[in-house]
Amino acid sequence: MRIALIHHSDDLTNDYAAYLAALLDEMAEKNEYVIKDYGHLLRARESLKEENVLLHIIIPASSNFSLKYWYGFKLARIFKKYKLDIVLCLYGTCTSSPLKQLLIFPDKILAEQNTERPLWQQFASSKLQNSIKVAASVITYSAAAGETLKLLAAAAATKVMLVPYTAPPLFVPMEWHNRLYIKSRFAENKEYFISILPDNDEKTFTDLLKAFSKFKKWQQSGMKLILLPKEEAFSRAIEEKLETYKYRDDIKLVNDAEKKDIADLIATAYALLHMPANDADLWPVTLALQCSVPVISYSTTSIAEYCGDALLPANENSFEAFADALIQLYKDETLKTKMCDAAVLKTEEYKQDIFAAKLWELITGNA
């Protein structure tokens, strides 16, 4: 079977697409599929000889003209040329091809038009009703997102499949003696909160520091805050902001960390602090839950669904309310223990191997 994934070039705003693509690469390797890149085939003037192929097609998406051209014309020609069997539309828009297509619904915000959002989201929103109608199935990240789809289009009622964010098996709870080692390496033997932020999101960074400041003024102790970049390294602008911060000695930016270090840092943390950019901003939460770590966050319908009682939500979307949640958790060890136990239970609902197998079965049984 020949499977294609449609990506957009130079885009870091679709976490769900990146997650599904990585999951499918693993399943392709496991099932002895060959993984190919369309751009490489084109440059090398290679044909597609293998029968079982996962083909990544990255399209330019910087203008409406480009999006219309690729989704309305060019992609259909590529599918025909390489005799593809099925395509996953990772960015919420189906193509003009008669080929069977699986539509990815990567965020609830696509259900509403908004000219302030990234161009691909505006384009997907404008085409969403038709894309749902064309798609053989619609894959999304939460039951809440699925309900949004069903309210939007009657055709979605029988098409929606849930493939939630899940954490790799590397992310597991840690024994106390291992946690002591991680604290000595990264936090001067102190307890610490942890957060995963976009590399250049200065507003979220500033709001998090304001919340941490309020907590530090109340606590007056050595509690640290470790920050991990979502991609590789924080921008220079964020580093410069940190240089003037009152409690800068209690903040640590960990750039370019190895996956094992990221897993160990999360598993050792007192809690994960999360200020979601949108409803689908869930990847850091899944990592924390699988490590049995409590989550403090602004509440969204999907975060509440994922976390259950492992979530301590801020009462409102302000740094003051967020800081109050930090103080509440720190004051109540019984609450923290209950949240850790709840995280373990929720993790049982989000096993990566189970959902990866279901996704692979949907794809390979759809052509």
Domain locations in the chain? 2-165+352-364, 176-347
pLDDT tens, 301-319? Answer: 999 999 999 999 999 999 9
The answer to whether 278 and 117 are in contact (CB under 8 A) is: no
Q: Which residues pair with 192 in a beta bridge?
A: 224
Tokens 């960390």 sit on residue: 257
Q: Rounded to an integer, what distance in angstroms lies between the CA atom of residue 142 and that of residue 219?
A: 36
Runs of H (alpha helix) within 187-258: 202-219, 236-243
pTM of the model: 0.94
Structure confidence at residue 367 as a pLDDT band (50, 70, 90): very low
User: Six-digit token pair at 248?
Assistant: 């800068």
- HSE-up of residue 141 (Cα within 13 Å, Cβ side): 28
pLDDT tens, 231-256? Answer: 889 999 999 999 999 999 999 999 99
Q: Which residues pair with 297 in a beta bridge?
A: 274, 313
Arithmetic mean of pLDDT, 339-364: 96
Furthest-apart CA atoms within the chain: distance in Å: 66
User: Six-digit token pair at 130?
Assistant: 């038709």
- To the nearest whole percent, how much of the chain has pLDDT over 90? 92
Left, alpha or beta for 151 (phi > 0: left; psi -120 to 50: alpha)? alpha
The answer to whether 302 and 144 are in contact (CB under 8 A) is: yes
Phi and psi torsions of 162, nearest 5°? -90, 120
Give the per-residue pLDDT at 158.
84
- pLDDT at residue 366 greater than cutoff 60: no
How many residues in total does the chain contain? 367
Tokens 């029968």 sit on residue: 51
Phi and psi torsions of 188, nearest 5°? 55, 40
**116 vs 73 pLDDT, higher one:** 73
Q: Rounded to an integer, what distance in angstroms lies between the CA atom of residue 212 and that of residue 280?
A: 24
pLDDT tens, 270-309? Answer: 999 999 999 999 999 999 999 999 999 999 999 999 999 9
Task: Name the CATH superfamily housing domain 2-165+352-364.
Answer: Glycogen Phosphorylase B; (3.40.50.2000)
pLDDT tens, 137-159? Answer: 999 999 999 999 988 887 777 89
Number of H helices, E strands in the chain: 15, 13
User: Six-digit token pair at 66?
Assistant: 């480009």
The answer to whether 278 and 141 are in contact (CB under 8 A) is: no
C-alpha pair distances (Å), 148 with each of 75, 94, 144 = 28, 18, 6
DSSP codes of every residue in 73-104: IIHHHHHHHTT--EEEETTS---S-SSEEEEE
Arithmetic mean of pLDDT, 169-180: 95
What residue type is assigned to position 242 of the chain? L
In CATH, the architecture of 176-347 is 3-Layer(aba) Sandwich (3.40)
**219 vs 163 pLDDT, higher one:** 163
38 three-state secondary structure: helix
Q: Rounded to an integer, what distance in angstroms lies between the CA atom of residue 217 and that of residue 219?
A: 6
